[in-house]
Amino acid sequence: MSSSESNHSPEQPEKIHLPRTSESETLKKIRHTTSHVMAMAVQKLFPKAQVTIGPWIENGFYYDFDTPESFTEADLKAIKKEMVKIIKRDLPVIREEVSREEAKTRIEAIKEPYKLEILQDLEEPITIYHLGEEWWDLCAGPHIESTKQLNPKAIDLETVAGAYWRGDETKAQLQRIYGTAWETPEQLTEYKRRKEEALKRNHRKLGKELGLFMFSDLVGPGLPIWTPKGTMLKNSLKDFLQQEQLKRGYLPVDTPHIARIDLFKTSGHWQKYKEDMFPMMAEDEQAAAIEQGFVLKPMNCPFHIQIYKNELRSYRELPIRLAEFGTVYRHEKSGELGGLTRVRGFTQDDSHLFVTPEQLEAEFLSVVDLTLFVFKNLQLKNFKARLSFRDPDSDKYIGSDEAWEKAEGAIRQAVEKMGMDHFEGIGEAAFYGPKLDFIFQDALEREWQLGTVQVDYNLPERFDLEYVAEDGTRKRPVMIHRAPFGSLERLIGILIEEYAGDFPLWLAPTQAKLLPVNSEFLPFAQEVAEKMRQVGIRAEADISNERLGKLIRNAEKAKIPVMAVVGAKEVESNSLSIRTRSAGELGSIPVVEAIQKMTEAIGNYENF
């Protein structure tokens, strides 16, 4: 073997990219067609099954069926087998345009009432897609030309779930079959690998194993309860941001959890956001009839506006930056809840800045800088910025075109000035203003929205906010809404999965565990743990009296960043035998030095 050959390192396997459906017109056609093939297979095997809707989703597709039978795992295998037969028959996928009357006649002939309801909402032309001459459905497309263009080895049926017709809990309970389809078998294999990894990282599973949070049926779904360890984690994040905010001139405030409904009528939340709010609490039927009562707050901004408006402000006071870790409540449907990432009560790291128009750009850039500081210290590197603008054709927004154009222009100008990688998301704006959203891609290439910054000309107008300008006239401030975390619950759920439960030292609920070789050395271990706690290190001594090997395994399982073994040698020399998750064995370190190094690492958001 030549020297050049011996020094040649083996090539790393090429990373397989898994595009989302919205990124690939080819995948969109494949998944749309595969969903039709699946529906055809289901109706062939289960003739009583009626089809409803079957769209593509970002990683695959689903179809909802109304059927007296409950689909089982064995049924999914049979359906997949039937799908392979259909694919191999090379059935042409044919698009046909028909009149509304013709579509209605055909639907009535096959006795599919859900299709009739869908037809009512469709705009002409009405399009039908056929698989050969045996099966069809109302559909806008797109589709491939023939079933043979699908690769059976790149298709899988995943799960069965319950779903209500049109998402309405008062309507029929349907069965939803989820599936996925890719261009190549290799993509499907990678997709399955990531799904398995996601299960290992699942924050609900790890949260339970690490004892961070829980849910109780008596409390209610979507309402997490934080254990002592979880509260330590939550408070560490709060303290981290609060300290940085104070350095940057933010003023802490605290506001109630409920308010009169009139507050949210003025803000527009009641008119535009009512479906997502918990029902009104009225004293009697008469009060309810005239909509007089209280509601749980869905947002903190109207409360902060009241603080601003409590006194007449001068231009010299601006910018005013009010910050609150405020818990808000959203009446999410039970089927949409998901661990910590979709809950009914959550704490936002909310802040509202009241600025002059001249201060807007500098303050906006400062908020972006704070958000980037947060991401850096959370070790979140893979993110991009989305300019979330309104959809001009939608009626869900409040405010004038001029206000929207000014706000969107301010965001675009700021982002371009910073040279940030960004893209536009039309229709993603809040109802009262455009946003800059930070979209984070995790270790499994899943995307999450974290921090957000919003420019708002509308709420200052609705609440008639003013300040006294330098020339003595009254002028309208501009509001900036911002939340670098988004919500603590969602952020913690994402961090658990990103870190796989292995938190960096500064964030870990328990930062150090003292492991006595036997009970003789427990007092020394407890004494050192107490010294650590006195300087702010979250330390514990293991009192279980297990063998040392078991103590180490338990600490590893609990993902403790720093483990310190204590035996005769350590007691005699007043030292610790340190092992860390980030650097492995560090050997014997004097107690004073170990505490100093840990304190410095925690203060700098670094590992030991």
Just list the catalytic residues. 301, 330, 348, 350, 352, 435, 481
Distance CA 165, CA 181 (A): 24
Determine the Cα–Cα distance for residues 164 and 173; give it in Å rounded to an integer.
5
Quote the CA–CA distance of 421 and 385 in Å, as a whole number.
6
- Angle, helix 488-499 to helix 228-247, in steps of 10 degrees: 110
User: What is the maximum alpha-carbon separation in the chain?
Assistant: 93
For the chain, the 3-state helix, strand and coil shares in percent, each to the nearest 5, are: 40, 25, 35
Write the CA distances from 11 to 8, 18, 579, integer angstroms.
9, 21, 33
CA distance 84 to 442: 34
Which residue, among 97, 78, 96, has the nearest Cα to 86 in the 3D structure?
A: 78
- Rounded to an integer, what distance in angstroms lies between the CA atom of residue 21 and that of residue 179? 13
Task: State the Cα–Cα distance between residues 534 and 528, nearest whole angstrom.
Answer: 10
Q: How do 467-468 and 447-456 pair as beta strands?
A: unpaired
Helix (H, G, I), strand (E, B) or coil at 437: strand
349 contact partners, CB below 8 Å, separation of at least 6:
238, 241, 323, 325, 483, 484, 485, 486, 487, 488
The Cα-based distances of 404 to 114, 312, 430, 455 in angstroms read 40, 26, 11, 9
> Is residue 142 classed as helix, strand or coil in its secondary structure?
coil
Looking at 202-327, list the stretches that DSSP marks H as alpha helix, in order from N- to C-terminal side: 203-209, 228-247, 261-267, 269-273, 285-289, 301-309
Q: Phi first, then psi: give them for residue 154, nearest 5 degrees.
A: -110, 20
